[in-house]
Every structure is written in structure tokens, then in C-alpha cells.
Structure 1
């Protein structure tokens, strides 16, 4: 199924895609957003497993990147200083003195072009955007696309592509707030998560990586699914305390493990497995409450978990894994698949 809807709005449009056993996915062209994912629980009850707003105007006022693609670089760039081809480029700062999720003109805040299609096995929507050299301070004329694909077998995949005519930084991600209770009935503190990662990037009190790694073993960051997220968050560990009581950290994913991450809700039986080509993921437990009401459930902290698959920060190039640095000679490609199950 591929359906396009006209909204009562001048520029915002919606697409609904579903195929075979896949979840039903609703998409918006503002920020190339995933608005809703409908998935069944163990009893066959279908509910939305994302935090969502009800109307277009709320998405235009959104300040938590709800369901948006963020970039060109996901995360924080300290003091908005970016070096490419040995030239430092001052970026706009939109979180105090730092640059966050691509700045005010970042991917999540603009309208994307879209084309859609389907065949016997898949349905898809491809969002694309061109950014001119100097937008928010980034060097390079950049072409980027994000393709959402649902497959008859059940998978939902996000594919990222990008290229630039000069060296730049590029590492987008999807900022879905997942809540497998369905329709935001319960906080994610009651749900479980497993992340195959033995090391995490240490943060300072401004949520900037210090350059150090620490082991997850024996810490609240050892997410092995053995206890609810609330027991990890309810900790006096300084790294939990310094991010407003929760997790907002970059996990370096272990190679050879698949799925790299899983989230499940024991009450509903829903489980979401995440398979990605990215070397890492920021896990964020929505540690700050939103300014606007959600479509369902209360607007309080810890109502969703984001698993933001992405490249490593450039400062960690010495680890020998892909970073956000994109040479003009290279084409960027990355993919993340969400696979729904029940247990």
C-alpha cells in the first residue's frame, strides 16, 4: 500500500506505506519525518509505537526533533567549530555555544522533495534535499536523500545517501522516539533495551564528548535487557546525573553482532530489533519533557527512547571506524532496519 494525503496545510504532505507483513508507516515531508508506526501486540492489537503530535502546526513548532531526520551531522559540534580540508568553518550555534543536529536550518527543520513508488515486494518514499555551500556554516554543495522502505516480509528500512563537492562533515540519523507500550500508555522506564556495545563516549556537563571512552561493564550503561530501563536511569552514576537523569550517550557498536540493538515491552509483547551498517548509536531516554502535548499520553520525560544510528564523531578517527568526515571523493551510504516481533 502506498497512499499520499493532502493535509490542511500549505506545504506539509503525508505518505502512508505498508506492504505484506510490514508495519504501517506514516511519513511527513517536513524534516523527512516518521510520524507514526503502527504495530501489533501479542494479541493482535495495532497501536502507534512512536511519540507523535496530532497536527501539522505542532511539527512546525517542534523543538525536540520528534521523528525527524537530523543532520547534516547528528549530535553536538563543540562551539560550532568544524575543520574540513584543513580549514576551520564556524557553524551556527543553536544550543548555547554549541551546534546541535545541523543548526536552525538543519535537515529536521526544512521541507524535503519526495517521490514514492511500490512493487510486489516493497513500498517506499524517497526524500531528497540540496543544501548550498555555507548553509549554517557547512562547506560544500550537498545532495542528500533518505529513503523509507517497507518490505512484504515485515522489515522497515531507512537508507541514507549523501555527497558533497568539497570535503565536509555528514552523519545524519533518524530521531524517532520509540515507545512499545502503544499509544504512549506507559513510560519507557518500564521497557527493556539491549545494546551490543562494550564502550561508550564519556560526556562533560554540556553533553560534549571528553575524548575518553569508558567500559559499559558494571555501569548503568550495560544495557543487556536483564532489567527495565528505569533501573538503569535511577542511578547516582555521574554520567547519568549529568544528562538530567538518564542516558544520552554514544555507544560504539560491537562488530559481528546482529541485531545491534533491541527494545521490548513485556506487557504488550512488542519487540523491536535494530540492524544497522552504522558503527555507533546515541541512545537517548528523553530526559527532558517536551513543550507541546503528544497525540496520546502525558507530555513528560522518559516517554520515549531514541536509538540514533550514526557515524563516530570526527575526534574519534583514531579508533579506525567511519566518522562524520565526508571527502568530496566519497559517496555516503548507510542503512538501518527496524524489525518488529512479538514475544
Structure 2
């Protein structure tokens, strides 16, 4: 068996990243690949903090929006790069029924529950289980969510594994078990600008492809109506690739008006798969940086940074405004527990939860 070239091995290291207001120490783990791609993860929120990627000329830039310091993540939580749970996206009125019992969650989004509600996985300090270098550099983080946390049933034991290979593919695996029937829908909420964080070019001039023939339209509270709507002939048709900004101001489309742009779940043609398959491709034509998102899940939420309102001061003192970055969140569908025709998010004892996603970074030719 051929051995990997040690010179190409990926490296894993950890450093102190600061402290939370209660004195809890936060650790940063950095994974570095041979091709110049690196990823730094904070234990706070198991957050993908930085992702460095070279352009077609070899110039490296951080392609993630975020804050410079841990204190800002605690004071102004915005989910940027965080591990989202227990339930990514929205649940209507913060309620769902499981086995005849109704559960009430914190309503933290205009009466809805968003990204777990209350004290979600994004604002908890995870434990570093292990890190290792090698052909694939790996960091494993763990968290125990007790029965009743934020209103959810079951004690859930969760692990998130970040792995970076020599080519710069960043894989994120979400594993969880429960001791009672519950619902789980975990994802990562990284916000990307492939031109580089803080670039004068916002993400609206990037080309997005989503292999989805349908999406889930929403009501005025951004809750899915239950319909799977054909994208053909609409600004939601990204199957052949289009500029993000091309349809984002289309006031004739009521869905664009309701979302203040794109903030919608796309039903991927591939559905649920055993191994990760393509969910989205994002390219900055100027720098040549390309991001491919692969997932085992059936949906991807495309959020175009509509609520970045100029009040957020991010990395390097940059003021983040609408459209400065976009999120592509692989997941099951929003509000699935309240829609029997949506993919189930139920997890039972003895039947572990698993979601595998990959951020694949490369460059295109001129």
C-alpha cells in the first residue's frame, strides 16, 4: 500500500482563544492543508471561525464573515460559522408534537423558534475530544444537551468532527444519540464571500448553482407553507448557475419580498443520500475561488445576508452590510416536525443521528 507523502500531510494544532464573560476558557483549533487551505474552529459554538483559501494567483484570504474575538461572539451572537442545534432553521410558533405530546420551545424570532431557540448549540462551549495531524487533520468536539434543554425532549450526546485533507476538503460530521424520541436538524451556519471577507466586492456578483428543481415557499413569518414549488421560470432557478444579485431585488416575486431577498430552503433533487453529494457551488469569477458544498441531507437553506444591516462590525473592523456574504446551510427542511410531507427529523434511542457535509475549495481558470 502506498503511503501518503509526509510533506503533504495536513496539520492540526490548538491555542488559547480568549475567555467568556464568566471566565470560561475558549480554545481555537487550526487545521492546515498542503494547498494553502486552513480552517480554524472555536470551541465556543464549535464555530468555524476562519477559513483561508488561495485564489487562482495564490493569494490567500479569509472567506468567512465573523468577528475577530471571542467576546464579540458572546455579546452579539449571529450564528456566523456556528454549529446549529438542536434544530437548524425555524419551527412555527416554537411548537411541535411528538407521539401525541406538544413541546414548547423558546420563541426567539418574531414568535418562531430559530436555530434551536434559547441556549442553542451555537452559544455553548464545546469540549475538545481529540485533535490529530496526518494525511487528514482532524478535530473532534463534544457536547451533552440535557433532557428538556430549550424545551426539547431527550438527553442528546453530540459530536462534531472537522476533518481537512491534503487537498483542502473540509468535512464536517454531526453525530448524535438520544435517550428519548426527539427531533434533530444540525448544520453549520458559515457565511461566505469568496472574494474574501471585507472585500469591496460583495457576494452578489458571485455565481451560485443549486441542483434543485423545487423550493419551499414561506409565509410572511418565513415559515414554509408546506408546498414544494417548481423553480422553473423564477428567480429561484439556480440549476444552471446565475449571479446571486440577479434576482435578489425582484419586487414582483412575493417570496423575494417576504424574505427581503433569498432566505429559502431548496429541495435538492438528490434527496437524502448515504454519502455527500453536491448541494451548491459558489464561484467568484474575479478571484477564481470556488466553493462546492456537498451533503447527505435533502435540503439547503440559501440565505443572502439580508439582515446584515450595517450595525455589525466584523473582522478587521469591517462593517457588514446586506449582501456582504451568503450562507448555504445543508439540512432537512425548516419546520419539518409540523409538515408530514417533509423529510422527518425524528431521532429515536438506538438509531443515531448523522449528517455529513463537505466544504470543497478550489479555483477556476480565467
Q: TM-score w.r.t. structure 1 length?
A: 0.95
Gaps of 5+ in 1: none
Specify the alignment match of 1:132 in structure 2.
146
CA distance in 2, matches of 1:118, 1:225: 39
Give the SS at the match of 1:259: strand
1:293 aligns with 2:309: no
- 1:61-119 CA distances to partner (integer Å, 9 max, x unpaired)? 23321111111000111111121222111112111221111112110111111123224
CA distance in 1, matches of 2:184, 2:191: 22
Give the SS at the match of 1:16: strand
| Kept in 2: contact 1:52–1:66 (CA 8 A) | yes
- 1:28-59 CA distances to partner (integer Å, 9 max, x unpaired)? 01111001100000100000001021111111
- Of 176, 189, 193, the match for 2:204: 189
Give the SS at the match of 1:7: strand
| Kept in 2: contact 1:199–1:213 (CA 8 A) | yes
1:180 aligns with 2:202: no
TM-superposed deviation, 1:128: 0.8
CA distance in 2, matches of 1:156, 1:53: 21
| Kept in 2: contact 1:22–1:156 (CA 8 A) | no
Gaps of 5+ in 2: 1-10
1:206 aligns with 2:226: no
- Of 315, 319, 341, the match for 1:318: 341
RMSD: 1.6
- 1:193-214 CA distances to partner (integer Å, 9 max, x unpaired)? 0000011111001101111121
- Of 285, 289, 299, the match for 1:280: 299
- Of 85, 107, 114, the match for 1:71: 85
| Kept in 1: contact 2:36–2:54 (CA 8 A) | no
Deviates more, 1:209-218 or 1:36-45: 209-218
- Of 214, 234, 239, the match for 2:255: 239
* Aligned positions, number: 340
- Of 6, 12, 17, the match for 1:7: 17
CA distance in 1, matches of 2:163, 2:144: 21
